[in-house]
Structure 1
Amino acid sequence: MATELLMPKATAVWLVDNTALTFRQIAQFCGLHELEVKAIADDEAEKGIKGLDPVQTGQLTRDEIATGEKDPKHKLKLSAPKVILPQSKRRGPRYTPVSRRQDRPNAILWLVRNHPELKDAQIMRLVGTTKTTIHAIRERTHWNAANLTPTDPVSLGLCSQLDLDHEVQRAAASMPQPSPEEAGARLLSAEETTAPVAEDEELNPETVLAKLRGMTGGDASDDNEDDSNS
């Protein structure tokens, strides 16, 4: 916990000047040597450092200080942060352990085949590779192309399932949606395809002839008259 303390020497200066804690307690809390704390108390060290109140910064409570002052053997505990800062976003390709780098071509082949919507930059983020390698595997010009076996990168431990799902969703969202013309004719609904045909429509000759005219573009009644005359 001491390594996470904000400005440990300035905190030690404040604790020496404002509390009855022992040198050992302050040293343990601030990650310093006990002799360093004694030197601070004797004005032999850190003379130019202004004390930092750990209570004001939310790293230590007054109750914790009081407990330590009553019990010299008590080890001070760093307070949990009230605000959790977001982790900095990783830039560049993902680092891949040396023992797993030989599996990257198999993972790339799996991604190219199963998720062709993924861009090269996304594959690079997932498995920590280069555009040159991705292009070689896409074009089957990789030096070991004949021996590659497509393998899920999650099962290989090259990325997490959450990372893979995130990249796939991003790729799907960025793909252009087809226009109504490109999508083709509208499919009939279930109500339309399963609706019963009316009896009068089934048996009415004129209705049947009208449908035939629409299908052939000709006059079905004239054809029938010609057939009857002949």
Structure 2
Amino acid sequence: MAELDTSKPLKPKASAVWLVDNTTLTFDQIADYTGLHVVEVQALADEEVGRGIIGESAILAGELTAAEIERCEKDSNASLKIIKRDGPALKVRAKGPRYTPVARRNDKPDAIAFLVKNHPEVSDAQICKLVGTTKPTIQAIRDRTHPNSSTLNPRNPAEIGLCSYQELDKSIAKGLKALGRDPVAEALAAKEKREAENAASDEAAKSETSFDFSNFLKSTGRSS
């Protein structure tokens, strides 16, 4: 078993969400503390990734003090120092088959369909680890020969509890790197694309709802 890094919070994304919502710390400070990339912290703040993640108080978790947060809020160049945990270091179980609760097993085909459709960069081996499935099942869903093909509803495996958001992000990053692509650059490009699409959508909505008063005045026989 490998030891967990006790210099970082146990739940980095949940901690990041809480710090974004409850402090005036910079994204750089939060990224440094959690071990996440600053682009990912900003995406969490904008709810572009990790939707549904509930923030967890770093103070209640015993990882930070209010005084430490206040110190860093006053100095944007300061780095948060996590409270040293007492007792033996926590162990991470060695790699092995993922156990999926019975209630979640029927969700697997939907999760596989989501990954095959939206993240072709994730290898079948990685999908097997994330979802707890087999390569023949993945191929059957890809070829639409799976018994549930007609009723598949692609759903994010992290959102339905089959894996964590962190595990999913790592698999996506690993797949992109294997293809010679930069995960951070890809995330930033996707963010910029979404912002451009949202801006265009907002502009179109404004155009549709705008009212031409000149035509209204003409129709009522009034003029200025």
**Which TM-score bucket, shorter chain as reference?**
0.3 to 0.5
Relative to the length of structure 1, the TM-score reads 0.40
Relative to the length of structure 2, the TM-score reads 0.41
Taking CA–CA contacts closer than 8 Å with sequence separation of 6 or more, which of the two structures ends up with the larger relative contact order? Answer: 2
